[in-house]
Amino acid sequence: MNKLWNVSRKTDLETAFDDVFVHEENEAQTVDGSGFPYAQDMSSDGGVFKHLLDDDERVNDEMNKALGCGKTALGLEGVQTLKRYYKFIYCYRWFCRECGSKGGRIHKKRMSGILRKIEGALESQEKEIVDKFDLRQFVFTLPVQWRERFLSRKAINSFYRMVERIIKEEFPSKPSIIYFHPFGDRQRGFYHPHMNVHILEEKGQRLQIEPVQLERIKAKFYRALVSYGCRKEELGLNDVRSGINYMNVHYSFQTRPGMKYHRLKYMSRPNPGYLNYDAVKKDPVLKALFLGSVKDKGMSGFMYVRYFNGFRGGLKDIDRKEEIREAENSAGERLRVARDRDGHIMYKKKSEINLLYREKELEELSEGFFRVVEIKRKKGRLKRGKDSRQVSGIYQTS
Ligand SMILES: [Zn+2]
């Protein structure tokens, strides 16, 4: 048993963030009377039992997280000041209406992450950071005939690496971003995997590329796909040249600040996003890939936005560590989980918090993150004084 608990090396705080949704589910189950007997005891590690769920239960479990998104706050406590905080926890699932829509939480998070990365790469913190570079853009699209080979996380990672290698060769040491989009804009359930590339170019460089360079890039893409196992015959073609001509690589560039910003924003939107959910759920293959299955976690936790060439790493849509860091930054101190007198973690609904505090007593530090401020009121002081007299009175008589 103890081993199970150690499976995740998450901190108390991270676990408490995730367990908000387990708490939500348990609450719902208590209401309709269908609660699992172990739910109460195991609530601090919902992940351990994941493997016992079948595919539909898994999808439901994920959906419950989206349905519980932003409904429950976790009580936190300042390590130094012992001040009380409440943080509403969001699910950051792509199929959540609030998190996975265009302009929703995931999109905002990706966009601010990208701008921060660019500031880092250009060593500039100027407000109009998009003025500081020009933007090259490539879109690498898989031929329809080969798409079925790219229906796994592993294959999509390979696709990613092919494109990364080509860009590294062609544009060495230019900070670049790759965004994976599995769907186009129009057909929400039609698998159309493409890698979008943004390359940050110094201002004043020639941005047009020679046809010969685009040809070379297409040839590299073709050869990478063939050595991955894609067969020319599947394209219905016979000679090599025609295979290269069949490659769909689109190049464009942008110098106007507003348009550059727009392009970064367009590429970083969640895809799949909330709009794709109905179509994805109807297709068994796409459902298993994007929502996970018993056999395979599929794309859950996949980094859709990644950096290279001077940038490092990628951007996780669900990053509890990062959320905790941000909360600590806006609180200005280290935080820990707050517990009630019985040692239970404090999970509170908005309605409960509203009963506990007046509006003035809650200071919103960032979206859904509140600090309880003590308001000095004459009445309050009097009341407190009265209480303590009562308490001491009890002690005196006993
Ligand atoms: Zn959500």
Number of H helices, E strands in the chain: 15, 12
Whole-angstrom CA distances from 356 to 7, 193, 339, 377 are 36, 50, 16, 16
Ligand 1 mean position, distance from CA 319 (Å):
13
Res 365: pLDDT: 96
Q: Are residues 384 and 370 in the same domain?
A: yes
Give residue 221's domain range: 98-317
Res 38: pLDDT: 36
Q: Are residues 195 and 132 in the same domain?
A: yes
Q: Are residues 276 and 388 in the same domain?
A: no
Is the separation of the CB atoms in 61 and 291 below 8 Å? no
Q: Per 3-state DSSP, what percentage of the chain is helix, strand, and coil (rounded to 5)?
A: 50, 15, 35
Distance CA 278, CA 63 (A): 12
Q: Are residues 111 and 243 in the same domain?
A: yes
Q: Both tokens of residue 336?
A: 């820990």
Q: Are residues 73 and 203 in the same domain?
A: no
Distance CA 285, CA 148 (A): 10
Number of domains the chain contains: 2
Q: Which amino acid is at 292?
A: G
Ligand 1 mean position, distance from CA 84 (Å):
24
Ligand 1 mean position, distance from CA 65 (Å):
7
Ligand 1 mean position, distance from CA 187 (Å):
24
Angle at CA of residue 219, ends 154 and 214, nearest 5° = 110
Q: Are residues 335 and 303 in the same domain?
A: no
Mean pLDDT: which of 50-59, 126-135, 141-150 is highest? 141-150
Q: Are residues 311 and 367 in the same domain?
A: no
Res 370: pLDDT: 97
Res 148: pLDDT: 94
Burial class of residue 118, CB neighbours in 10 A (0-12, 13-18, 19+): buried
pTM value is 0.82
Ligand 1 mean position, distance from CA 250 (Å):
33
What's the rounded mean pLDDT across residues 282-303?
89
Q: Are residues 276 and 343 in the same domain?
A: no
| pLDDT tier for residue 126 given thresholds of 50, 70 and 90 | confident
Other Cβ atoms closer than 10 A to 387: 10
| pLDDT tier for residue 27 given thresholds of 50, 70 and 90 | low
At residue 398, does pLDDT exceed 80?
A: no
What's the rounded mean pLDDT across residues 95-112?
95
Q: Which tens digits make up the pLDDT trace of 221-270?
A: 999 999 999 998 888 877 767 888 889 999 999 999 899 999 999 999 99
| pLDDT tier for residue 34 given thresholds of 50, 70 and 90 | very low
Ligand 1 mean position, distance from CA 157 (Å):
26
Residue ending a domain, choose from 302, 317, 332: 317
Ligand 1 mean position, distance from CA 70 (Å):
7
Q: Which tens digits make up the pLDDT trace of 172-198?
A: 989 999 999 999 988 888 999 999 999
Ligand 1 mean position, distance from CA 241 (Å):
47
What's the rounded mean pLDDT across residues 275-294?
91
At residue 62, does pLDDT exceed 90?
A: no
Between residues 385 and 24, the one the model is more confident about? 24
For 176, the 3-state DSSP assignment is strand
Q: Are residues 146 and 63 in the same domain?
A: no
Ligand 1 mean position, distance from CA 97 (Å):
7
Ligand 1 mean position, distance from CA 122 (Å):
32
Q: Which tens digits make up the pLDDT trace of 71-89?
A: 999 999 999 999 999 999 9
Residue ending a domain, choose from 283, 317, 351: 317
* Residues paired with residue 348 on neighbouring β-strands, in sequence order: 73
Closest alpha carbon to 299 in 154, 97, 99: 154
Q: For the chain, how far is it from start to end, CA to CA, in angstroms?
A: 46
Ligand 1 mean position, distance from CA 202 (Å):
37
Ligand 1 mean position, distance from CA 64 (Å):
10
Distance CA 63, CA 251 (A): 38
Q: Are residues 66 and 127 in the same domain?
A: no
| pLDDT tier for residue 16 given thresholds of 50, 70 and 90 | confident
Ligand 1 mean position, distance from CA 296 (Å):
23
| pLDDT tier for residue 317 given thresholds of 50, 70 and 90 | confident
Cβ neighbours for 61, distance < 8 A, ≥ 6 positions apart: 25, 50, 53
Mean pLDDT: which of 35-49, 154-168, 233-247 is highest? 154-168
Number of C-alpha atoms within 13 angstroms, CB side, residue 312?
1
| pLDDT tier for residue 389 given thresholds of 50, 70 and 90 | very low
For 143, the 3-state DSSP assignment is coil
Res 32: pLDDT: 41
Q: What is the CA radius of gyration of the chain?
A: 26
Q: Are residues 76 and 155 in the same domain?
A: no
Res 377: pLDDT: 58
Q: Are residues 104 and 225 in the same domain?
A: yes
Res 165: pLDDT: 96
Ligand 1 mean position, distance from CA 112 (Å):
18
- Rounded to 10°, the helix 153-170/211-228 angle is 150
Whole-angstrom CA distances from 380 to 61, 243, 375, 376 are 44, 79, 9, 7
Cβ neighbours for 108, distance < 8 A, ≥ 6 positions apart: none
Between residues 219 and 127, the one the model is more confident about? 219
Res 354: pLDDT: 92
| pLDDT tier for residue 124 given thresholds of 50, 70 and 90 | confident
Other Cβ atoms closer than 10 A to 144: 12
Residue ending a domain, choose from 293, 317, 341: 317
Ligand 1 mean position, distance from CA 329 (Å):
22
